[in-house]
Amino acid sequence: MDLSYIALLMPSLLRGLGQTLWLFALTLIFSLPLGLVFTLGSISKIPPLRWLSRLYIWVFRGTPLMLQLFFIYYGLPFLGVAFDRTTSAVVTFVLNYAAYFAEIYRAGIQSIDRGQHEAAKTLGFTPWQTMRLIILPQTISRVIPPVCNETITLVKDTALVTAIGVGELLKAAEGAVNRDMDITAYILVALIYLALTFVLTVVYERLEKRFSRHQKKEA
């Protein structure tokens, strides 16, 4: 492998990486909390809220992410809402990932022992206080592994946005490979994706440890 060729590729790959990370970060920042909104909706005692949340989750988990990209970028303009390519990509990813996170949170919340709800109730907690002060804090450590899993999928899913013409890491490599008839760029992006997922794994391991301090037994 030729080092000077790699040096030549790097600027465009790094630009692609920047776009990928930008999409990744925005998606996480908005979808993590939005997911919780749909979780609370889907377990709400108010039927219309529950139905709407569950319908939402069903639609966004039940159709391909690529199709959702097409709908939002090519379809919404017919309804008078037009986003540029990047905004369309971010909106689609946020909506899609919020649905997945919502289900992860729901499973976490429902795995908490019923005795916790009962104890809180006998101490005078309202259902919302119970959720906020007792149930959600315990849910965090349980949902970190599945959220981590989903986040790693997100890193790789970002490659889909080329379908609506948004530049990103894989697209940058593809350009170089086609131009130079050399797969070095593919190898480089593979390494970059691996580095990203490695960093994520480490970060989540730390978080998991931090949030499950209380589960440690004394020796």
The residues of the shown chain that bind another protein, judged by CB under 8 A, are 113, 115-116, 118-126, 129, 133-134, 137-138, 213-218
Looking at beta carbons only, is 108 or 167 nearer to another protein? 108
Minimum CB separation of residue 217 from another protein in Å reads 6
Counting Cβ atoms within 10 Å, is residue 124 exposed (0-12), middle (13-18) or buried (19+)?
exposed
Closest distance of CB 215 from another protein, Å: 6
CB of 210 to another protein, least distance (A): 12
Looking at beta carbons only, is 138 or 158 nearer to another protein?
A: 138
Q: Which CB sits closer to another protein, 85 or 117?
A: 117
Nearer to another protein, 179 or 216 (CB): 216
CA distances from 198 to 56, 149, 185, 203, 205 (A): 32, 12, 20, 9, 11
DSSP codes joined into one string, 94-120: HHHHHHHHHHHHHHHHHTS-HHHHHHH
Contacts 24+ apart (CB under 8 A), 14-18: 15/167, 15/172, 16/167, 16/168, 16/169, 16/170, 16/171, 16/172, 16/173, 16/189, 17/169, 17/172, 17/192
Angle formed at CA 37 by CA 99 and CA 115, multiple of 5 degrees:
105
Nearby residues of 158 by Cβ (< 8 Å), 6 or more positions away = 20, 23, 24, 27, 93, 168, 169
The minimum distance between CB 23 and another protein, in angstroms, equals: 34
Q: Which is nearer to another protein, 137 or 165 (CB)?
A: 137
Please, what is the minimum distance in Å from the beta carbon of residue 99 to another protein?
Answer: 27
Closer residue to another protein, CB minimum distance, 2 or 113? 113
Residue 109 CB, nearest approach to another protein (Å): 14
